[in-house]
Structure 1
């Protein structure tokens, strides 16, 4: 099965267009300081517009409390982590926010592959 995720969306209209085009998942960068970052206020209408698509909050080294708050405030279906979050952090998000968590990894060598398997 192939799933399509469109990420870095910045407006409700972007989300609507992605869903109309057949996106299975729509992603919003919720960590501040990035070119495609959006505020929680902006993300609220975007999450509402996601319809049947999976709404994904993308975070980079955000405090776990901020991630959990965003999940509940926005009704996110999943969280994508792109920072140096460790196993304990990921476990906390999974248990406290009760959402799917996708963790990205930089692979520079065999030790990184082993870390990703955990």
Structure 2
């Protein structure tokens, strides 16, 4: 079954939505973003999150000591890196599942996968959170879907097509389940339904 991550969780209301709809992952953004949360706010949110939903911290070129402090204090299970993090940097985070985001804009950009040696790659467009999808034909038959989180411009309208084309481990959505910049219960419900009906 394709896993689902709802990213950019920033309100207690968002937590209520997720607890009711039960995606596999909830994403908390600690990098500069309109969805950014700090450690204390994230703690209050996570404190109310259902224990079956795994907690993902999203970081961009952050000091590894800060990442580890946040991860330990919040009990994060997955660390998602969106910057220029190297394999040497990644190696500092033993015991955590790692998702390395790659910005896909050409055939060549897929080859970045060869620089790393760990479990999951999150394939995104060149501007995370923009609501734009990348050209899925660039990676079709060039990647092993078991190790891919598909992101970038996903909505309930196109997520089924993305899954059927790339057979990813999971899908990651943020702006595609929002209305006026806030998470929308009906959109999250429809997105999850489309994924799980496949």
The interval holding the TM-score normalised by the smaller chain is: 0.7 to 0.9
Summarize deviations over 1:12-54 as a string: whole Å, max 9, x none: 22122123112110000012x2111001110001122222100
SS at match of 1:80: strand
Map 1:101-116 to 2 at 5 A: 101-107=98-104, 108=106, 109=108, 111-116=111-116
Shift of 1:116: 4.9
- The number of residue pairs the alignment matches comes to 114
Question: Which residue in the other structure is 2:43 paired with?
Answer: 44
Unpaired runs of 5+ in structure 2? 119-198
The answer to whether the 8 Å contact 1:47/1:76 transfers is: no
Q: TM-score, normalised by structure 2?
A: 0.53
For the aligned residue pairs, the C-alpha RMSD in angstroms reads: 1.7
Secondary structure of the corresponding residue to residue 62 of structure 1: coil
Higher helix share: 1
Whole-angstrom CA distance in 1 between matches of 2:111 and 2:99: 19
Unaligned runs of 5+ in 1: none
- In the other structure, the counterpart of 1:77 is 77
Aligned with 1:10: secondary structure? Answer: coil
Distance 1:54 1:37 in 2: 18
Q: 8 Å contact 2:87–2:116 — kept in the other structure?
A: no
The residue that corresponds to 1:17 in the other structure is: 17
Structure 1 SS opposite 2:103: coil
Partner Cα separation in structure 2 for residue 88 and residue 68 of structure 1: 15
Q: Which runs of 4+ in 1 moved over 4 A?
A: none
- The residue aligned with 2:96 is 99
Query: Which has the greater radius of gyration?
Result: 2
Question: Would the aligned equivalents of 1:105 and 1:116 in 2 still touch at CA under 8 Å?
Answer: no
The answer to whether 1:6 aligns with 2:3 is no
**C-alpha displacement of 1:113:** 4.0
Query: Which position in structure 1 is the counterpart of 2:68?
Result: 68
